[in-house]
Every structure is written in C-alpha cells, then in structure tokens.
Amino acid sequence: MTDQAHAAQGPGAGSAIRVLLADDEQMIRHGVRLILRHADGIEVVGEAVNGAEAVRLAAEHRPDVVLLDIRMPVLDGLAAIEQLLAPDPAPQVVMLTTFGDEENVIRALTSGATGFLLKDEGPQELISAVRAAAAGDAVLSPGVTGAVIRRMLRGGGAGAGAAAPDRRLAGLTGREREVLAMLGEGLSNLEIGERLGIGVGTVKTHVRSILEKTGSSSRVQAALLAHQAGLMG
C-alpha cells in the first residue's frame, strides 16, 4: 500500500488511533497525553523528546498519527519529517507550533506534513484534529489556514511541479477535479461526500487517486494545487 493509500484509508474500523507524541517540553507532552487519554478510540503509544527519538519510536510502534513539535534538540521536527514519511505505510504527521513559526510550518506542509496545530488549541480541537488526521483529512488550525495558503502561493512553496499546475491536473477525471476543488476549500471527506451525494469510502478513493496522479504527498499540497490551478473560481 502506498503512503497516499494509507493516508486516505486510515486505521481499520473499530481499532484505536495510535498516536506518537514528540515534543521536548515535558509539560506539553503531559497535557496532550492527558487530553488524548480520555478520548474514545485514541491510544498514545509513545512519547519522544526529540526528532531522532520520534523516528525510532515510530518505527517501533507504527503509529497512525505523529504529533511533532518543530523545534527540538538532536533532530528537529522539520528534519524528522522525511524519515517519518519514508516507511510504507507512513503515519500522518501533524506539526505542533505557534503562529510565530509560520515559515517553518510552510516548510513542513510542503514536505508532506498533514497539517499543523497551534499549541494553545483546546482539548476538543486537539482530539478532533487527531481523528481528522487519522482519516486522511488535512489538519490546519482555524484562523491561519488562509494566511498560510496565501503565503505559500506568493512564495511558490508548492514543491515540485508548482510551475505547471495544469499539467499536473491533466490526468484527472471530471469528478476528481470536483473533489480537488473541494480539498482547496478545506472540506473534510464527510463534507465532500455530502456535497456530492457519495459515500466517504468513494471520496477516499478519489482523494487517493488525486494524490497519486498529481504527485501530491498530502491533502494540503493538493489543496494548494487547486488554488494554483484556479479551481477555486
């Protein structure tokens, strides 16, 4: 199974979402662990204090989601992303950050991270973000999504192929273009399914195909491509 396929499918039905925490601040890890411990269907399988330990523990525990701090000793979160995404299947990587780290967040998104969370998000937002990431949905903290997208567009931060978005879309079907436009709007799989009148499983199939055909490593990159290609109207 490809990384994209794993991202689109998520954990098996009825199984707990396995989460790995990586943050050098003990209080942050403690707080996140307490929140997730009381959430149904979520299991914290490990805690790392730096990026190198996160890579090691991810290989050992095979988490579905890695909550990864950007600034850590030994190996920071940005340097750890490539190694975390190398296995097949790979976990979903969600960066933990503050708004002041915007430049690093953009680098993380273009490297294939599923999204980012602000460290001051509330408990329910954190739980929802973990579940969304496990389901293959992009995780972007409200209020900064638009700013990040605009910054990436201005800076050309889409990665390989950014100069020719139309060519990257050439192989998509009409339905896949519709789904891609909705990814650009930031809609979840459920929301896309409701708008199109199709099941979530079918949406996941379309998303997986879109990622593979466009060479996008995450829904965030696909959403950015939708903006670049002018699919947003």
Q: For residue 152, what pLDDT is reported?
A: 62
CATH 3.40.50.2300 maps onto the chain at 3-150
The parts of the chain modelled with pLDDT lower than 70 are 1-14, 99-102, 142-163, 233
Which CATH number applies to 161-228?
1.10.10.10
Q: For residue 197, what pLDDT is reported?
A: 96
Query: CB under 8 Å to 58, separation ≥6 — which residues?
Result: 20, 46, 66, 84, 87, 91
Longest C-alpha distance within the chain, in Å? 48
Query: CB under 8 Å to 188, separation ≥6 — which residues?
Result: 132, 135, 137
CATH topology of domain 3-150: Rossmann fold (3.40.50)
| pLDDT tens digits, 20-30 | 999 999 999 99
